[in-house]
Every structure is written in C-alpha cells, then in structure tokens.
Amino acid sequence: METKQKSNVFAIGVMFLLFFMIAFVTNFAGSMGVIVQNQFGASNAMAQLGTLANFIAYACMGIPAGHILKRKGYKFTSLLAAAIGFVGVGIQFASGYAESFGVYVLGAFVAGFSMCLLNLVVNPMLNTLGGGGNRGNQLIQLGGSCNSIGGTIAPIFLGYMIGGEAAKASVGDAAPAMIAAMAIFALAFVIIALSAIPEPHMETAEEKAARKAGNVAKDPHGPLSFRHFVLGAIAIFFYVGVEVGIPNTANLYMSNLEGVGPAVAGTLIGFYWFLMMCGRLIGGAIGGKVSSKTMLTTVCSVAMAFVFALMFIPESVQITIPVIEAQVPLSMLFMFLCGLCTSVMWGAIFNLAAEGLGKYTPLASGIFMTLVCGGGILPFVQGFVSDYVGYINSYWVIVAGLAYMLFYALVGSKNVNTDIKVD
C-alpha cells in the first residue's frame, strides 16, 4: 500500500510538471514570433506560423489521440507525448543553427502533437490518481494552476533571453529555455516509465476483439447531432484563438516599440497569463454559485469593453508600470486585464456544450480538442490583418471572436435536441 501511494505521488508530480509544460511550450511558440521576425525576416503573419503549426497539430491529432488513449492507456500515451515533446523542442533548437525557418515551423508542429496528447492525458489521469470526487477535482485545479504558471513564465523567460533589442534577436538566445524544456520532457519520461499508473478506461480484451471483428454497433447519433454542441465547438475554436491572439499580437507590438523592447514586452505578457491564473482561482471559488451561461455572458461583455479600450486609447497616452519602471501605452493595461476574462471561458463553454450529451460526452471531448486549432488559425489571421492595418486595428479579429462567444452564451447554448436518447 505504501509503495502504491509513493508511486501515485510521483505520478501526480509528473502530471503537474506536464501541465506546466503544456502552457510553457505552447506560449513559447508565441513568444518566438519576435525572434523569427528578426532572424528570418518574417512578416507579422509569418511570425505566427510557429503558433499556427503548434495548434494545427491538434486538428490532425485530436480524435486519433483519443483512440490511442483508449487502446494503449494513460502510461503509453504519456510516454509517447513526452518523447514527441522532446523531439519537437529539439527540432526548434536545431533551427537556429540550421538557419532555417522551415525547420523551426516543423519543430513547432511536432511539439503540437505532444501538447495535444498531454491535454488528453493529464486531466483524466489526475482525476483517477486522486480517486475521483473532490480529491480528483482538487488535483485538476492544482494542475490548472501549474499550467498558468508555465504560461506566465514562458514569455518573461524568453523576453529576458532576447534582451532589450528585437533587432538583435536570434534562436540562439532562446537556447537555455529550449534545453530546459527538453530536460523536463526527458525527466518526465523516466519518472512515468518507473511509475505504476492505473488504467481504468483502457479498452478491454472483449472490446478489442469486438472492434477487430467489426461487431461494434453503429449509433445513428453522435455529438454533432446536437446543435448546441456544434455551436459550442465553434465557440471553443474562437475562444482559444482569442486567448492566444490577444497576447501574441501585443507581444509583437510592444517588442517593436521604441523604449520598450522584448524584455519588457515579455514581462507584460506574463502579467496576462498571471491574471488568467487569478481568474481561474476566482472562477473556481464562485463556479458553484454562478451559471455557466451567466459567467460566459459577463466575461465576454467585459472582454469586449477591454479590447475596445485597447483599440481606441491613443498610443501617446502612456503609463509607468510599477516594479519594472517601464513606460508603455495605457492601452496595454487593458490587454493583460483581458486575462481575467479569458481564464474562465473554456470551462463555461465546455459545460454549456456538453450539457445533455450523456454517453456522447467522451467523443465530444475529442472533437473539442480538434477545434483547439483555432489557437493557431485566429492569431495567424490577426497577424495577416496587422500586416495591412497595423497591430492595434487587427484586434477587430478578437472583437469578432468575442462577439460569437457572446452569441453562443445568449442564444446558441440552448439544447434544442432533447428528443435524442443519451443513456
């Protein structure tokens, strides 16, 4: 019994570490935009290709990853994710020395496969290791905090690696961060390999035999049979794009401002992700008292107000940031305040979209994971728009995404397919 508890402690620790890595590596791709702009002469749109490649991997891997998890189990999937993550970051590391933008994008794409696998593994695994119930939920919430910490550290770390001048940035500057990420993936692989991890949801021998014999009954319905789920999946697409697009574009904008530079910009982007962590803690505290519809309606409305303030306050209106003593446009204050709003959107959308799905919920989760690709597509679109109308005006793309999510909260989230049996 003591050995099992000790093994669980190790496994829980690794899951926290992997939760950290999901955000660290994902936000790492966004922060690299400053580097690829300089070293490879990339446009604003092309600077987002690393992020695009990272999230497109979700579209390719979301549903297959669910099958891998079901057939091979948590341990195998975790080991595979750690190995792929090591290779993906390693390829990005090599891109600087190969002087190849294509190699960098390939590395981001490979790393995206790892992030997709990890996202599918860590939540149910922590719930399982906690024994379900309140303890399982507690572990998931703690894991989410580790995720936010990774998101906070990545842009700050990389910003200070680059230094104060975007014009001198190169992949070599980010080498310490990449080596650290590779070391964490390697350590995680070893610990997972040595840990005893329960497999309660793995495909049984009978299920495997039935699948191979083609004796699995076809269901005429599925998650896509529910209008509120389809609209919710689209809302997730826009949500992840909004969450990533807000700080990524702001990072490029501030890094190229005279007197600001990558170091200060990275620190401020870190504030955005820090406020996301604060928002998640607040959301967890009040989530039992406020409906998902009310929560989503409120945060979308407030976020739109913040983005409008970001867009329409003149750049000449400056504010001094305490501690770092840097002067930046006042509009950027509203950029990182958006983190308070985006923090709870995923949970609210998922709860609304999954309501009434019953037995179709697991497959719905795989579809949701596929639509996470919006985190790469929308920032790329925003970058393309910014090449023509400027960084600030490109935030109309964010406004459009927030407007759709508000529509979903008010109208699209109603289940109109209650006649479908879900038991």
* CATH number of the domain that residue 319 is part of: 1.20.1250.20
pLDDT-derived band of residue 324, with 50, 70 and 90 as boundaries? low
Residue 170 pLDDT > 70? no
Contacts of 107 (CB under 8 A, 6+ apart): 88, 89, 90, 91, 92, 93, 94, 95
Q: Are residues 134 and 235 in the same domain?
A: no
Q: Are residues 244 and 121 in the same domain?
A: no
pLDDT at 112: 86
Which is higher by pLDDT, 222 or 242?
242
pLDDT of 379-408, one tens digit each? 889 989 998 999 999 999 999 999 999 999
Q: Are residues 188 and 335 in the same domain?
A: no
How far are the Cα atoms of 296, 352, 359 from residue 222, in angstroms, in the given order? 25, 17, 9
pLDDT at 2: 45
Residue 37: inside a domain: yes
pLDDT at 126: 72
pLDDT of 88-110, one tens digit each? 989 988 877 777 778 888 888 89
pLDDT at 10: 72
- When pLDDT is averaged across residues 325-344 and rounded to a whole number, the result is 86
Residue pair 18/118 in contact (Cβ under 8 Å)? The answer is yes
Residue 93: inside a domain: yes
Q: Are residues 184 and 333 in the same domain?
A: no
Give the burial class of 295: count Cβ atoms within 10 A of its Cβ; 0-12 exposed, 13-18 middle, 19 or more buried. buried
Give the burial class of 257: count Cβ atoms within 10 A of its Cβ; 0-12 exposed, 13-18 middle, 19 or more buried. middle
Cα 256 to Cα 329: distance, rounded to the nearest angstrom: 13
The reported pTM is: 0.76
Domain assignment of residue 355, given as a range: 222-414
User: What is the pLDDT of the chain when averaged over all its residues?
Assistant: 79
Residue 206: inside a domain: no
Residue 5: inside a domain: yes
Q: Are residues 261 and 184 in the same domain?
A: no
Q: Are residues 258 and 139 in the same domain?
A: no
Q: Are residues 111 and 153 in the same domain?
A: yes
Cα within 13 Å of Cα(322), Cβ side: 0
Tokens 């695009």 appear where?
A: 52
The alpha helices in 130-226, defined as continuous H runs, are 133-162, 175-194, 205-213
pLDDT of 45-72, one tens digit each? 777 777 788 888 888 887 787 778 777 8
Cα 121 to Cα 378: distance, rounded to the nearest angstrom: 25
Q: Are residues 193 and 265 in the same domain?
A: no
How far are the Cα atoms of 16, 48, 219, 233 from residue 55, in angstroms, in the given order? 21, 11, 30, 15
Residue 246: inside a domain: yes
Residue 210: inside a domain: no
Q: Are residues 19 and 136 in the same domain?
A: yes
Q: Are residues 234 and 372 in the same domain?
A: yes
Which is higher by pLDDT, 239 or 166?
239
Residue 216: inside a domain: no
How far are the Cα atoms of 41, 128, 152, 332, 414 from residue 341, in angstroms, in the given order? 34, 29, 16, 15, 22
Residue 104: inside a domain: yes
Q: What percent of the chain has pLDDT over 90?
A: 18
Domain boundary among 146, 167, 199: 199
Q: Are residues 320 and 238 in the same domain?
A: yes
Q: What percent of the chain has pLDDT over 70?
A: 79
Which is higher by pLDDT, 3 or 94?
94
Total length of the chain: 423
Q: Are residues 2 and 125 in the same domain?
A: yes
pLDDT-derived band of residue 84, with 50, 70 and 90 as boundaries? very high
> In total, how many domains does the chain have?
2
Residue 77 pLDDT > 80? yes
